[in-house]
A = this chain, B = another copy of it.
């Protein structure tokens, strides 16, 4: 009976299908890795046919590029939520560090990102895409940092460089976390960086409003 299929419009059908495919792709990247994410396994995971995928994405690279875009977009939104969540906190830096780790780096989505990142070492198109997306993310993240924090008086620390260090540290930590049999190492590392950062920066007093951010990134998908 067509009660379960209440006559969707073409755009709705396409969007829903693309969504399912992208979600399945990111899941598959996190679980099975880049090479293990075959088109067959992805459509199986998404519960759709092979034809649906080939209709929306002519080849594997197109699907991966769109998945990367979706991933970065989603991460941006999470980052935004994290930044909002620390807006009125007192120990803002600790909260930011912890939340960034828990909600961004210690997630399946970051594992998917790792796969794309490693694959981008041999795929120039993917590399260029990731470069552009990261640039857009940082273009919004860095003002947010300046919005919330300032160099400690007497220091002239480059906050951008400090947070790039933070990102690299968390990335390296996440990549090797499964080899460190003691999970306390991670907590210790987060504490360590927080302590170091506090030496050269602190939260701006009285700032409780979220930083500005471009609205177009809040839309779930599509340009």
- List, in ascending order, chain B residues with CB within 8 A of A158's CB: 188, 192
Residue of B nearest to A117 (CB): B175
Cross-interface CB contact of A185 among B162, B164, B173, cutoff 8 Å: B164
Q: Is the CB of B33 within 8 A of A175?
A: no
Q: Is the CB of B178 within 8 A of A121?
A: yes
- List, in ascending order, chain B residues with CB within 8 A of A175's CB: 114, 117-118, 171-172, 175
Cross-interface CB contact of A165 among B114, B131, B193, cutoff 8 Å: B193
Task: Determine whether A122 belongs to the interface, using a CB cutoff of 8 Å to chain B.
Answer: yes
A-B contact pairs, 9 of them (CB 8 A): A120-B178, A131-B181, A158-B188, A162-B192, A168-B171, A169-B172, A170-B172, A172-B173, A199-B199
Within 8 A of B (CB), among A148-192: 158, 161-162, 164-165, 167-173, 175-176, 178-179, 181, 185, 188-189, 192
Q: How many copies does the complex hold?
A: 2
Residue of B nearest to A168 (CB): B172
What's the Cα separation between A193 and B165 when bound, in Å?
A: 8
- List, in ascending order, chain B residues with CB within 8 A of A193's CB: 165
- List, in ascending order, chain B residues with CB within 8 A of A18's CB: none
- List, in ascending order, chain B residues with CB within 8 A of A185's CB: 161, 164
Taking Cβ atoms with an 8 Å cutoff, the residues of A that contact B are 31-36, 111, 114-115, 117-122, 127, 130-131, 134, 158, 161-162, 164-165, 167-173, 175-176, 178-179, 181, 185, 188-189, 192-193, 196, 199
Cross-interface CB contact of A33 among B36, B122, B161, B181, cutoff 8 Å: B122
Residue of B nearest to A185 (CB): B164
- List, in ascending order, chain B residues with CB within 8 A of A121's CB: 33, 111, 178
Q: Is the CB of B32 within 8 A of A179?
A: no
What's the Cα separation between A168 and B164 when bound, in Å?
A: 13
- List, in ascending order, chain B residues with CB within 8 A of A36's CB: 35, 122
